[in-house]
Chains A and B, each alone.
Chain A
């Protein structure tokens, strides 16, 4: 839930080769160890992000497609031990510049377990300038927030989602409107200077006025960061099923767009600069961890369904993306016996890396920094993407200026129709 830093894979979407890979990892110990050694080396040259996925929730929200199980059925101590075991595998060399604990619901863990985890992660990442924990506004108290602060967390992201009681109810959120402001106030009292909110718009049945009211309510809390997501119907969710039966209908495309434009307009006016398609922050308060994803820097994901992007030493703009098993039982069994738990591995060739970097960079308002792109991929973006850049420039959808290529304001609402032309080289 909440602002999902490293997205765990969706449950139920696993291909045959992944299943086979799992089987291999059960039996071929040597092979797995080799992979593990590889991992240690893999990101040693560049500081990486660390993401820890807490795959538990008090209750499942109806729109959420991420992997989580009911918190009550999980031995929290064993889970935290497992996560720390997996983290130990990355002992040598890798320096983490950001840490992010997301979920699921980290705050669905017993406070002492969450704090224990935070403390150990902080010990492992002493240099991390940013350490975020996602919080459910209905699951925090002064003791927990104070404990997190003391343990080294310096940024909180609250899964507010909506300031409308009907919408919270429909979404299946386990908190109330009032709890949002209370949680933010509590965070301030605990000394947090960097607080963000997640909001969802285009919720079935809501109007532009509802959304405007929600934005005002969020801004009234004087937070540093807002993530504003258009609701998407994810496979395997209750919402998707309801839409299938006709109980729910996606909001009209025009309204969706109007809400999006309203968000950009209103948040910018309040001094929250849009720095990514769905993200807004006061200058200097952009989420560094997430900026790492859009810069296509390496990251390590710990926990069931968590994903890692490990780059190669020799060719930096290549590597592999690993995704852990989206099953808490299998995950724990693997890490407890000293094995890794990847369910899926995708190799990223230099060409892939160039495309991924371009697509991810273009989500940022600053776009592709041509020098940074060249450093990362060894390619000249203006040359390898000459065709789409030229075409969309003519159409006013792409701007090229200051050694950067970026989407224009009018391109943002239809970004995918443009980004797809950067998804593969001709």
Chain B
């Protein structure tokens, strides 16, 4: 196929704006699948994606299309729709020359529409504006077109009005892809270089690399090298997704497909790495990606301690298909064995949790998410920590820096007040307010990530009656007046409950924690003080009262068996408790304090 007739593009959109439906229509129109075959949203292969209306893993499909009598090869590289997956979006976009930016005609531009548009621009992709759902009664296509022009600088008369659901305008859009998006640059005579933009693990065939060839040609049985780590492999199969995997003999410059080379360990394949020929390697690798940065951390513990090995196996399995989340074993005195997991963002975390429970049927308890901190030590070295317990001794710490983000919230103008109030309470600084239309506003904040990772999104959804959307982008670490608060049970600090918080939040956060703890710890034979301390100074206190009366009044001959059973039960109840500072604390107590679900 003439390289001039290849088009590589992505569809980017806010959640539920119709990205996957549009992809399905394109697959149908190009005959890649028949409508009878078409399960809705064929690109989303995981249940959970379909249910949540989002795509987690990028995938790629090759379509054939005839435009003005010429055969075209259209490679659609799907992207996740959420900000947390910005990393995956950008790596998909790096494999493309163009992007379709889809906006829902009934919703207008949303926070993630913008984030995606920025990513596409950064990747150097040509953007086509697409207004979807124009056939809905509530559609305001013209208003939305104005927003697009105002915010993104795409002219309103150049936007495509479609209904992905009915297929209206989709053929014109395909024609536009052929006409308006640029073809790949022809570097077919240079040494082979293919960008790995995704990978997947198959139990039988090992790692399947999703690649875009930028120069030269990949052939089956070719000896290839991963430029990042120097490992070499023999290509056993090349192919394209149509949408099922179809083997081909070679993948030429500009083409998109997969490479199977008997790679047994997913860890050996770094997304963003370049595949080249082992004998005639390219001098330079393709511009890769920044490795994803885990910004949000949370501990996962099995609901039942005996499930630990299963939890580990489940994480191993999940990591095969998601290189962007990390997990390290954790052994907490209070909670037993579990894992500290790092995520790109909050949604990423939620998805992992759901997949854990759904695909593995493991009940997990998840601690409230925290962020990563940068610690400047007295000796001038800088250290990243993911958990309060890793904070070095106070005397060694010069400053604690916390991650900040640029936070964009798009909402209706009548809900600005509520959102501003919320944001102020979370140490967010308003940078600017921009009217997208007379009724819709984009607010840009500088925000500490720690303040928005927990329940912030739910809260702004609440005050805006569901209208607000938000997105954020990491901007850097900045020094803050941060303190570590320790929770002391009967005078003993409980590491699992320590928190790093802004000084202004220390007391209310600590107090909330010990109030919950007081309710969750059963009474003992003595009074138990619960304290919140900052560096040895107590700032709040609660007390669990001692048992005052717990004795069987009558125990004679007829009661022995039954009373012994009751006592054994009482003893069993104690067994499940962790002994901390002579206090018997049920694991459930910690869980209930740390669990984010209430």
A interface with B by C-beta (< 8 Å): 4-10, 13, 49, 51, 229-232, 253-254, 256-257, 260, 277-278, 290, 293-294, 299, 301, 305-309, 321, 323, 344, 346, 352, 355-356, 359-360, 363, 395, 397, 412-424
Contact = CB atoms under 8 A, between A and B. Distances in A.
A301 B561 CA distance: 14
B549 A418 contact: no
B37 interface: no
B537 interface: no
Contacts of A397: 525
A417 B547 contact: yes
Range of interface residues on chain B?
A: 20 to 34
B138 interface: no
A293 B548 contact: no
Contact of B551 (A8, A306, A359, A416): A416
Contacts of B562: 9-10, 13
Interface string B536-561: 00000000001111111111111111
A230 B557 contact: no
Nearest to A102: B556
Contact of B560 (A5, A309, A412): A309
Contact of B570 (A231, A293, A356, A420): A420
A417 B525 contact: yes
A367 to B, nearest CB: 15
A171 to B, nearest CB: 14
A86 to B, nearest CB: 16
B372 to A, nearest CB: 41
A416 B523 CA distance: 13
Contacts of A415: 550-552
A346 B568 CA distance: 15
Given A414-B525, A416-B570, A419-B567, A229 B549 contact: no
A256 B548 CA distance: 9
Q: Which of A253, A305, A308 has the most CB of B within 10 A?
A: A253
Which 10 residue pairs spanning A and B have beta carbons closest together? A7-B558, A6-B557, A423-B567, A420-B570, A307-B558, A415-B551, A229-B553, A420-B571, A420-B567, A7-B559
B558 to A, nearest CB: 3
B526 interface: yes
Contacts of B551: 230, 277, 412-416
A298 to B, nearest CB: 10
Contacts of A5: 556-557
B564 A359 contact: yes
A344 to B, nearest CB: 8
B450 to A, nearest CB: 41
B221 interface: no
A352 B563 CA distance: 13
A335 B489 CA distance: 60
Contacts of B571: 420-421, 423-424
B525 A278 contact: no
Contacts of B553: 229-232, 277-278
B556 A413 contact: no
B546 to A, nearest CB: 8
A5 to B, nearest CB: 6
Contacts of B526: 395
A253 B548 contact: yes
Interface string B184-195: 000000000000
Contacts of B556: 4-7, 290, 293
B574 A307 contact: no
Interface of B: 524-526, 546-564, 567-568, 570-571, 574, 582
A278 B557 contact: no
Given A8-B558, A229-B554, A306-B558, A413 B549 contact: yes
A355 B564 contact: yes
A424 B568 CA distance: 7
B594 to A, nearest CB: 27
B564 A418 contact: no
Given A397-B525, A423-B564, A293 B557 contact: yes
Given A416-B570, A418-B525, A346 B561 contact: yes
A299, A306, A424: residue with the most chain B Cβ atoms closer than 10 Å: A424
Contact of B554 (A7, A254, A395, A413): A7
Contact of A414 (B549, B554, B561, B574): B549
Given A293-B556, A307-B558, A417 B570 contact: yes
Contacts of B554: 4, 7, 229, 232, 278
Given A230-B551, A413-B550, 11 more contacts: A6-B557, A257-B549, A323-B558, A323-B561, A356-B560, A414-B546, A416-B552, A420-B570, A420-B574, A421-B571, A423-B571
A416 B558 contact: no
28 contacts: A7-B557, A7-B559, A9-B558, A49-B557, A230-B553, A231-B553, A256-B548, A257-B549, A307-B557, A308-B557, A309-B557, A309-B560, A321-B561, A323-B561, A356-B560, A413-B548, A413-B549, A414-B548, A414-B550, A415-B551, A416-B550, A416-B552, A417-B547, A418-B525, A420-B574, A422-B567, A424-B568, A424-B571
A305 B559 CA distance: 11
A301 B558 contact: yes
A248 to B, nearest CB: 17
A253 B406 CA distance: 55
B564 A257 contact: no
B159 to A, nearest CB: 67
Contacts of A301: 557-558
A206 to B, nearest CB: 15
A10 B554 CA distance: 13
B547 A414 contact: yes
Nearest to B524: A417
Contacts of B574: 420-421
B386 to A, nearest CB: 37
A229 B554 CA distance: 7
Nearest to A352: B564
Contacts of A321: 560-561
Contact of B549 (A260, A359, A424): A260
A354 to B, nearest CB: 12
A359 B571 CA distance: 13
Contacts of A293: 555-557, 560
Contacts of A323: 558, 561
Contacts of B524: 417
Contacts of A352: 564
A6 B568 CA distance: 22
A277 B552 CA distance: 9
A352 B552 CA distance: 19
